[in-house]
Chains A and B, each alone.
Chain A
């Protein structure tokens, strides 16, 4: 199993350009997440999805959109990139929460380093 994969690994954008980051998981996980990582701030949740066709906002959703058309894929879009979106982006997935069972954990991809100039 490849686990969680992310495409691309690196990208440089000019202000105002758009792009889409792709996340794919082969573990049949229901839940998928997009985080951004900035120095000293840990990981902050951008958007997440609890199943195919559903998405929800996280802590820092502004400037991003997402789609989950297939269970195994979760796309993160930047419509008009800004320098403040320079960051490392991580995708993660997990099993569905089921109260009463033991806890889950999130499985992370290797990250995408994005620079906006």
Chain B
């Protein structure tokens, strides 16, 4: 079984500041990990994914995430926030040997102040 915890349901940053969204997972087998973004009134869009290759994963819109097995974490970062980054972000985990099922975290809403 696997689970995902996203620390902080709401995160507020100033435009140009560092974005850090936290994700911790538990999984009984090596996981695949995903970050999705949801803009208002839209579906989810894949930002990036970890599939047991490089531990530092780069995604779209300048986001990246680092898989840290010892900390069971997959935190999402962006060096400089932009107003257009305001959205809800979801971390998800999938076991790498058992098919397509995703388990999602509760989501973090990112607010960007001018």
Using CB atoms and an 8 Å cutoff, list the residues of chain A in contact with chain B. 4, 31, 40-45, 48, 90, 92, 94, 96-97, 99, 102-106, 108-111
Contacts and interface: CB of A to CB of B under 8 A. Distances in A.
A92 B46 CA distance: 12
SS of B interface (majority): loop
Contacts of A31: 100
Interface of B: 4, 9, 32, 34, 36, 41-46, 49, 51, 90, 94, 96-97, 99-102, 104-107
A108 B43 contact: yes
B72 to A, nearest CB: 18
A104 B99 CA distance: 10
Given A42-B90, A44-B104, 12 more contacts: A4-B43, A40-B9, A40-B107, A41-B106, A42-B106, A92-B44, A97-B100, A103-B51, A108-B45, A109-B43, A111-B41, A111-B42
Contacts of A104: 100
Given A40-B106, A42-B105, A105-B34, A99 B97 contact: yes
Contacts of B99: 97
SS of A interface (majority): loop
Nearest to B97: A99
A8 B86 CA distance: 26
A40 B105 CA distance: 9
Contacts of B34: 105
A96 B100 CA distance: 8
* Residue among A31, A42, A94, A96 with max Cβ neighbours from chain B (10 Å): A42
* Residue among A40, A94, A105, A106 with max Cβ neighbours from chain B (10 Å): A105
A102 to B, nearest CB: 6
A96 B99 CA distance: 8
Contacts of B41: 110-111
The 5 closest A-B pairs by CB, nearest first: A42-B104, A108-B43, A103-B51, A108-B44, A97-B99
Given A42-B90, A43-B90, A103-B96, A90 B43 contact: yes
13 contacts: A40-B107, A43-B104, A90-B44, A92-B44, A94-B100, A97-B99, A102-B51, A103-B32, A104-B100, A105-B34, A105-B46, A108-B43, A111-B41
